[in-house]
Structure 1
Amino acid sequence: MIVLAQLLVVLDSTVLAVALPSAQQDLGFSDASRQWVLTAYTLAFGGLLLLGGRIADRIGLKRCLALGVTGFGVVSAIGGAANSGGMLIACRAAQGVFAALLAPCTLALINVIFPDKRERGKAFGIYSGVLVAGGALGLLIGGSLTEYLSWRWCMYVNVPVTAVALLGALTVLPLLPGHHIKLDLFGGLVGCSGLVAMVYGFGHVAEQGWDSALVIGLLIASVLLLGLFTVIQSKRSSPLLPLRIVTDRNRAGAFATMVFSSIGLFGMLLFLTYQLQEVMGYSPLRTGFAFLPLLAANVSVSAMSTTLLLPRVRPRYLLATGLTIAALGLFLLTRMTPESSYWDGILPGEVVLGLGLGTVMAPCAATATNEVAKSDTGVASAFFNTSTQIGASIGTALLNTIAANATKVYQGAHPGIRAVRATVHGYVVAGRWAAGLLLMAALMAVVLITAAPFRPSEDDEWSDTGAAGVPG
Structure 2
Amino acid sequence: MSATVSDTGTGKAPGPSRSGGLALAVIAVAQLMVMLDATIVNVALPEVQKDLGLHTTDLSWVVNSYTLAFGGLLLLGGRIGDILGRRRVFLGGIAVFTLASLAGGFAQSAVWLMTCRALQGVGAAVIAPSILALIVTTFLDEGVRNKAFGVYAAVSGSGAAIGLLAGGALTQALSWRWVLFVNVPIGIALFFVIPKVLRETDRQPGRFDVYGALTSTLGMGALVYAFIRAADKGWSDGPALATFATAVVLLVAFVVIESRTSTPIIPLRMFRDRNRAGIYVIGLCLTGSVMGLFFFLTLLMQNVFSYDPFQAGLAFLPVSVSIVFTAAVASKQLPRLGLKLPLVLGVSLNTAALLWLSNVSTSTGYLTGLLGPMLLFGVGTGLLFVPLSQLGVAGVPMEDSGAASSLLNATQQVGGSLGLAVLMTVFGATTRSSTGADPATVLTDSTSAAFLTSAGFAALALLIAAVGVKVPGKEPAVVPGQEPGATPAQSPA
TM-score, normalization: structure 2? 0.90
Match of residue 450, structure 1, among 445, 461, 470? 470
1:260 maps to 2:318:
no
- Cα offset for 1:455? 4.3
Match of 1:469 in 2: none
Unaligned runs of 5+ in 2: 1-25, 478-486
Q: Is the 8 A contact 1:315 1:449 kept in 2?
A: no
Q: CA deviation at 1:175?
A: 4.1
- What are the equivalent positions in structure 2 for 1:13-412 lying under 5 Å apart? 13-176=38-201, 178-308=203-333, 310-411=334-435
Equivalent residues of 1:113, 1:462 under 8 A apart: no
SS in 2 for 1:436: helix
Structure 1 spans left out of the alignment, 5+ residues: 464-472
Conservation of the 8 A alpha-carbon contact between 2:204 and 2:399? no
Cα separation, 2, equivalents of 1:460 and 1:112: 15
Q: Which residue number in structure 1 is paired with residue 439 of structure 2?
A: 419
Q: How far apart, in 2, do the equivalents of 1:138 and 1:295 lie?
A: 9
Asked if the contact 1:252/1:448 (under 8 Å) is kept, the reply is no
Whichever residue aligns with residue 443 of structure 1, its letter is L
10-19 vs 335-344, greater mean Cα deviation: 335-344
Distance in 1 between residues matched to 2:225 and 2:165, nearest whole Å: 29
* Aligned AA (1:344): T
| Alpha-carbon shift at residue 177 of structure 1 (Å) | 5.8
Which amino acid counterpart does residue 70 of structure 1 have in structure 2? A
State the alpha-carbon separation in 2 of the partners of residues 17 and 71 from structure 1: 22
CA distance in 1, matches of 2:243, 2:139: 43
Report if the CA contact (8 A) 1:267-1:397 is conserved: no
SS in 2 for 1:30: coil
1:125-150: CA deviation from partner (whole Å, max 9, x where unpaired): 21111112111111111001000100
User: For the residues of structure 1 that align with 2:107 and 2:490, how far apart are their CA atoms?
Assistant: 50
Letter in 2 for 1:161: I
Q: Select the structure with the greater relative contact order (CA < 8 A; seq sep ≥ 6).
A: 1
Asked whether the equivalents of residues 74 and 159 of structure 1 are also in contact (C-alpha less than 8 Å), the reply is yes
- Post-superposition Cα deviations, 1:395-416, rounded to whole Å, max 9, x if no partner, equal 11111121121122123xxx3x
Q: CA deviation at 1:240?
A: 0.9
Amino acid in the other structure paired with 1:62: R
Give 2:431's aligned amino acid: T
- The partner residue of 2:459 within 439, 445, 454 is 439
Deviations 1:411-457 (A, max 9, x none): 3xxx3x21110110000011011012111101011222112333453
Q: Which one-letter code corresponds to 1:97 in the other structure?
A: V
Amino acid at match of 1:99: A
Question: How much has 1:461 moved relative to structure 2?
Answer: 3.8
Q: Does the 8 Å contact 2:209/2:264 carry over to 1?
A: yes
Q: More displaced, 228-237 or 312-321? A: 312-321
Runs of 4+ in 1 over 6 A off after TM superposition: none
Is contact 2:82–2:400 with CA below 8 Å preserved after alignment?
no
**Counterparts of 2:166 and 2:146, CA distance in 1:** 29
Residue 459 of structure 2 is aligned to residue 459 of structure 1: no
- Give the distance between the partners of 1:42 and 1:458, measured in 2 at CA: 35
Structure-1 separation of matches of 2:453 and 2:229: 18
Cα deviation, residue 33, structure 1: 0.8
Q: Which stretch of the first structure deviates more once superposed, 176-185 or 210-219?
A: 176-185
Question: Which range is displaced more, 167-176 or 379-388?
Answer: 167-176
Q: Mean alpha-carbon deviation: is it higher for 30-39 or for 48-57? A: 48-57
Report % sequence identity: 36
Count of equivalent residues = 458
Report if aligned partners of 1:114, 1:462 keep a CA contact under 8 Å in 2: no
Q: Which residue of 1 aligns with 2:19?
A: none
Alignment RMSD: 1.6
Kindly state the Cα deviation for residue 458 of structure 1 after the two structures are TM-superposed.
5.1
* Separation (CA, whole Å) in 2 of partners of 1:58 and 1:102: 14
Q: CA 1:462–1:152 in structure 2 vs 1: closer, same or farther (change >3 Å)?
A: farther
Match in the other structure for 2:483: none
Distance 1:430 1:252 in 2: 26
Equivalent residues of 1:144, 1:284 under 8 A apart: yes
Report the CA distance shift for 1:460/1:190 in structure 2 as closer, same or farther (over 3 A): farther
In structure 2, what is the Cα distance between the partners aligned to 1:372 and 1:150?
45
Which of 122-131 and 219-228 deviates more?
A: 219-228
Alpha-carbon contact 2:155-2:324 (below 8 Å) kept: no
CA positional deviation for 1:53: 1.2
CA 1:376 to 1:177, structure 2 compared with 1: closer, same or farther past 3 Å?
Answer: closer
Distance 1:259 1:117, change over 3 A: farther
Q: Please tell me whether the aligned partners of residues 146 and 154 of structure 1 are also in contact (alpha carbons under 8 angstroms).
A: yes
Amino acid across the alignment from 1:316: K
